Amino acid sequence: MKNKSRKIPKRQQNSIFWVYGYHATVAALRNINRRKNELLLTTDAQKKIIQEKDLNILSEIKQKILTRVEIDNLVGKNINHQGICLSVEKIQKKTIKEFISEQDENNSTLVLLDQLEDSQNVGAIFRSALAFNINGIILTENQSVNENGFIAKSACGGLDKVPFTYISNLSSAIKTLKENGYWVYGLDGKAKKLISEIDFPKKIVL
């Protein structure tokens, strides 16, 4: 049975949300494009995170030591927060042209996601994108889940390590991508060729 809690109603998709879980929180702290508000953590989590190298922001951000139960009351009792959570703001949206301009002009692999509403699925895609060195993810705004803690936790740090943006017009975005030298490929379970059999060009969108 599908876990309905993974689908976040649009009215609840505010600009501020909680990132929770150790790896997701550390990734958000390291992301210079992510605005951070407050770090809540248990004493055990604090002992662990201060051992992270080059995490200078810890001396700048507001911190509060809480019990696991107190954190449960903030993010939910069924959430595996690992004793740490961070109040963050959504990353500022970039236009498709701005997003493309930040990519390597000669070698870039992007993933385009259309109308995905399950946070855990989107998070898993970010996690896989990080593992396979994908350069960026483009998501459609309509009928798609927006940034939230479920995605961040499932992505295991990928949400703050893989660049992404949202688009309002799919066909217009694809046209812009093609105009900037990208080849667009669709994935189909019934395709005659496996993805490993294709000799891809240097700039592609999947």
Residue pLDDT, tens place only, 136-187: 999 999 889 999 999 999 999 999 999 999 999 999 999 999 999 999 998 8
Ranges of each domain in the chain: 15-89, 96-205
Sign of CA dihedral 169, 172, 176, 177: positive
Q: What is the pLDDT, as a whole number, of residue 4?
A: 41
CATH code for the domain defined by 15-89: 3.30.1330
**pTM for the predicted model, two decimal places:** 0.87
| Whole-number pLDDT of residue 194 | 84
Identity of the amino acid at 8: I
Looking at residue 117, what is its pLDDT?
93
What is the reported pLDDT for 190?
Answer: 81
Q: For each of the chain's 206 residues, which pLDDT tens digit applies?
A: 344 444 444 433 579 999 999 999 999 999 999 999 999 999 999 999 999 998 989 999 999 999 999 999 988 888 899 999 999 999 999 999 999 999 999 999 999 999 999 999 999 999 999 999 999 999 999 889 999 999 999 999 999 999 999 999 999 999 999 999 999 998 888 888 888 888 999 999 99
**Burial grade of 195 (CB within 10 A; 0-12, 13-18, 19 or more):** exposed
Architecture of domain 96-205: 3-Layer(aba) Sandwich (3.40)
Beta carbons within 8 Å of 136's beta carbon, 6+ residues apart = 99, 103, 108, 110, 111, 162, 163, 164, 165
Nearest Cα neighbor of 82 from 50, 51, 58, 48 is 48
CA dihedral of residues 77, 161, 163, 140 (deg, nearest 10)? -20
pLDDT, residue 74, reads 84
pLDDT confidence of residue 77: 83
Q: What confidence score (pLDDT) does residue 13 get?
A: 52
Token couple for 5: 């809690």
Q: What is the pLDDT of residue 14?
A: 72
Residue 101 φ/ψ, nearest 5 degrees: -65, -20
Parallel/antiparallel/unpaired status of strands 36-41 and 84-89: antiparallel
Q: Strands across the sheet with 136-140, in order?
A: 164-167, 136-140, 108-113, 203-205, 183-184
pLDDT in the model for residue 158: 98
- What's the confidence (pLDDT) of residue 32? 94
